[in-house]
Each structure stands twice: as structure tokens, then as C-alpha cells.
């Protein structure tokens, strides 16, 4: 028989570029913040799951745990593309729900920047060689960018979605992130600034795209029956945890999102109209147009209307990415899915200060997709 599982604490290390901060330092700060938030001691953690992708973070979970203290805690590293953190959370949830343990930790850590160091001045021929190598590898590195740029053009041609609607996603995202002390970008932008930014793949300028960087996020989960032992704060219940992979037909991100959401809603007897907050995968602005459609928040082709009418704003009917989302909060990969859950926890507790959503958050969704064909949706109820 499955036990109910709740989230009792969350913590972050700010997302950004921190070349002189090590992987263990990033992870340790997020975990310590989560433990403090949950009023849990490190010795209380029975199992830990770490989401990570980067080759620089090999055995990241073990690196971080070694700096937390060697208590014999069971540690598992999880890699599932952008959904790595979400997958680590799911494993921690399943472990508690099955009765394997009472208290577990899910965290994510990744690092893209390299330690600062003095470099010798490059000779002209060396610089030219590097530029040629970069150009040669550009197409393979930017496959997601090109795919989503194509998707944006197609959506605009088919449904009349405008470039202003796409840009408004970025404006909203950067505004929310300007109120988030943990976000990589903390400066609001105007519609004109989004339009006039450097073009990277028509019609997407750089302000339509998420940044990569360093960061860490952590949450403490426990069996609902023992939560009172640690905290009297609001602790969201995990009402659904659904993972689905490659489908036979359709675009993998859209069809997978629709399929995964349908299962989650059926499991909980809820629907898209019940969602008070959504933390959504939005590596590119077009995703905040197409995924609300796939989730059933609006008919196909009307995703642009949601952003234009303010429905997804902090004071809207269905706030999306109050954290700033991947576009502005940042996308360090491993931590991203868990950072979404930290935001949901704090929003349900009304601890988000100036970016607090206007309505009471009773039901929230964390949504992540990953390269290769994976979608994970978690639903949380107050």
C-alpha cells in the first residue's frame, strides 16, 4: 500500500556563473538551506538522490554527500537529460511511498563554468582555429534551438501567433525573475529590448532563450504521517508523479506533455482548470505557448492569448513560472526540476515576497521535458 508523501523543506544555491565555486560547495549550500527549511538534521536523511548531467559533475552526489558528512546515507546519481532533477525527486518520492524509508533528500547540481585562471595570449592562428571549430560544431550544439525556432515559425504561420506574444513570455519571465534573489537574471526587460536583442535563430532573439550555468537545488521529502515531527509549516502532498517516454506518433515534447498530463489528472481527479500555479519547462519562449495548449489550459492555437491577456501572470488565473522559469531563473539542468518544486513549496506557504502569486495555491504542477523524449509531471496539493 502506497503512503502519502509530502515536501517539508527546500533550498537553493543561486543560479548563475560561479567559476570559483566547486560542485560540492554548490550542492552543500542548497542542501543545508533545505535542511534548515525543513527543520531536519543531516543524520535524519536515510536516502538521497542527485540529478546531474555535466561531465564535470561525475559522481556529483557522492562528491556533495562527502562534504555533508559520512553517515552511510544511500546515494544514487540520476541522469535523464533536462528532467534529471525531476527524476531524482520521483525516485525519492517512490522510495518513501513504498515504505523503503521515511525521510529522503532529492537534490540537483550542475556546473558549466570553469575555474578562473590566467591564460596565455593566443596567437592569431590559434584564435582562427578555435573560431572555425566553434562554427563547425554550431549546428550540432544548437539542435534544440533550431527545432524550437522551427516550431515557433510553424505556430505563427498556422495559428497566427505573433512575435509580440512570444516576446511577452520573455518580458513576464524576466519580470518575475527580477523579484527572485536566486535567479540567474534579475533585471526586467521591455518588449522592445526583446525584439532588438541579438538574433540567434529566426524568430528567436537571445532574450527568447534560456541561459545555462551553475547552480543547485534541494528538497526534503518525508512520509506524511511523520511530517509533524519536524515542522508545522504547510507541506504540499505529492498527489501525482508521472514519467512517460518516447511515444510512437507526434512531436515528442507536445504529445508527451499531453499524454503525461492526462495520466496525472486522471490519477488525482483534477483537471487543468484546477491549477493555481504551473512551473513549466520553457527553455525557449515558444514552449510557454505550446505547452499550456498541450496541458489543456486553452485550445490548440490559443497559447498566445493566455500571455497577452495576463492569464499566466502573477495575478492571473493560471500563473506560470513565478520563479522566472528556465528563461530567466536559469537552466543548470540537474537542479532545474527540483528548483521548480522549491518554488511551488514556497508559493504554497506564501513565502515568495514580491513575486508571491495573488491567488491561494491549492494545486500546483511541475512540468519538465528532456532531450531524447521524456516528460515528467508532478502535481502537488495543499
Q: How far apart are CA 370 and CA 234, in angstroms?
A: 30
Strands 237-245 and 374-381: antiparallel
Give the range of the structural domain holding residue 10, as residue numbers without chain letter: 5-114+212-229
Query: Under 8 Å CB-to-CB from 201, ≥6 apart: which residues?
Result: 142, 145, 146, 149
In a domain, 235, yes or no: no
In a domain, 35, yes or no: yes
pLDDT at 105: 98
Q: CA 92, CA 50: separation in Å to the nearest integer?
A: 10
Per-residue pLDDT of the chain (382 residues; tens, 9 = 90+): 589 999 999 999 999 999 999 999 999 999 999 999 999 999 999 999 999 997 566 788 999 999 998 889 999 999 999 999 999 999 999 999 999 999 999 999 999 887 764 444 555 555 444 433 443 344 334 578 898 999 999 999 999 999 999 999 999 999 999 999 999 999 999 999 999 999 999 999 999 999 999 999 999 999 999 999 999 999 999 999 999 997 666 566 889 999 999 999 999 999 999 999 999 999 999 999 999 999 999 999 999 999 999 999 999 999 999 999 999 999 999 999 999 999 999 999 999 999 999 999 999 999 999 988 899 999 999 9
How far is the C-alpha of 314 from the C-alpha of 357, rounded, in Å? Answer: 5
Residue 44 lies in a domain: yes
pLDDT score at 372: 81
- Is there a domain that residue 219 lies in? yes
Q: How many CB atoms lie within 10 A of CB 42?
A: 14
In 3D, which of 156, 168, 223, 219 has the Cα closest to residue 195? 168
CATH number assigned to the domain comprising residue 48: 3.40.47.10
Any domain includes 55: yes
- Assess if residue 99 is contained within a domain: yes
Q: What pLDDT sits at residue 15?
A: 98
pLDDT at position 346: 98
What is the spatial distance between Cα 208 and Cα 191, in angstroms, rounded to a whole number? 11
Side-chain half-sphere exposure of 41, counting CA atoms within 13 A: 4
Cα(317)–Cα(298) distance, rounded to whole angstroms?
Answer: 12
pLDDT at 113: 81
Q: How many domains does the chain have?
A: 1
What pLDDT is stored for residue 127 in this prediction? 45
Report the predicted TM-score, pTM, of the whole model to 2 decimal places: 0.92
In this structure, is residue 241 part of a structural domain? no
Look at residue 118 in the predicted model and tell me its pLDDT: 42
| Domain membership flag for residue 207 | no
Question: What is the spatial distance between Cα 331 and Cα 339, in angstroms, rounded to a whole number?
Answer: 10
Q: List, in sequence order, every beta strand (DSSP E) within the chain.
A: 5-16, 47-51, 74-78, 103-110, 199-201, 204-205, 214-223, 237-245, 277-279, 363-370, 374-381
Amino acid at each position: 500500500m502506497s503512503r502519502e508523501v509530502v515536501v517539508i523543506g527546500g533550498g537553493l544555491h543561486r543560479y548563475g556563473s560561479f567559476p570559483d565555486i566547486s560542485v560540492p560547495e554548490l550542492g552543500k549550500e542548497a542542501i543545508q538551506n533545505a535542511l534548515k527549511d525543513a527543520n531536519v538534521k543531516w543524520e535524519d536523511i536515510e536516502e538521497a538522490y542527485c540529478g546531474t548531467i555535466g561531465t564535470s559533475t561525475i559522481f556529483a552526489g557522492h562528491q556533495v554527500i562527502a562534504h555533508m558528512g559520512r553517515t552511510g546515507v544511500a546515494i544514487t546519481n540520476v541522469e535523464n537529460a533536462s528532467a534529471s532533477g525531476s527524476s531524482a525527486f520521483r525516485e525519492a518520492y517512490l522510495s518513501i511511498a513504498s515504505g523503503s524509508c521515511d525521510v529522503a533528500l532529492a537534490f540537483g547540481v550542475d556546473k558549466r563554468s570553469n575555474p578562473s585562471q590566467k591564460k596565455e595570449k593566443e596567437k592569431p592562428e590559434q584564435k582562427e582555429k578555435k573560431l572555425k571549430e566553434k562554427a563547425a560544431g554550431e549546428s550540432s550544439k544548437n539542435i534544440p534551438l533550431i527545432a524550437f525556432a522551427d516550431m515557433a515559425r510553424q505556430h505563427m504561420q498556422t495559428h497566427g501567433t505573433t512575435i509580440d506574444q512570444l516576446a511577452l513570455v520573455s518580458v513576464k519571465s524576466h519580470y518575475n525573475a527580477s523579484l527572485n534573489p536566486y535567479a540567474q537574471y534579475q533585471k526586467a526587460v521591455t518588449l522592445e529590448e526583446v525584439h532588438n536583442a541579438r538574433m540567434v535563430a529566426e524568430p528567436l532573439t537571445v532574450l527568447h532563450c534560456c541561459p545555462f550555468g551553475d547552480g543547485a537545488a534541494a528538497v526534503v521529502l518525508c512520509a506524511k504521517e511523520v511530517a509533524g515531527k519536524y515542522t508545522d509549516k504547510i507541506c504540499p502532498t505529492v498527489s501525482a508523479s508521472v514519467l512517460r517516454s518516447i511515444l510512437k506518433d507526434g512531436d515528442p515534447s507536445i504529445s508527451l506533455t499531453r499524454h503525461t498530463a492526462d495520466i496525472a489528472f486522471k490519477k488525482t481527479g483534477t483537471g487543468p482548470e484546477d491549477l493555481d500555479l504551473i512551473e513549466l519547462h520553457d527553455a525557449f519562449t515558444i514552449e510557454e505557448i505550446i505547452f499550456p495548449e498541450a496541458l489543456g489550459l486553452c485550445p490548440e492555437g490559443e497559447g498566445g492569448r493566455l500571455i497577452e491577456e495576463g492569464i499566466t501572470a502573477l495575478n492571473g488565473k493560471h500563473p506560470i513560472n513565478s520563479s522566472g522559469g528556465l528563461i530567466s531563473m536559469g537552466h543548470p539542468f540537474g537542479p532545474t526540476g527540483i528548483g521548480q518544486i522549491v518554488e511551488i513549496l514556497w508559493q504554497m506557504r506564501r513565502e515568495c515576497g514580491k513575486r508571491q502569486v495573488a491567488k491561494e495555491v491549492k494545486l500546483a504542477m511541475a512540468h519538465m521535458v528532456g532531450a531524447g523524449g521524456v516528460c515528467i509531471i508532478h502535481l502537488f496539493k495543499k
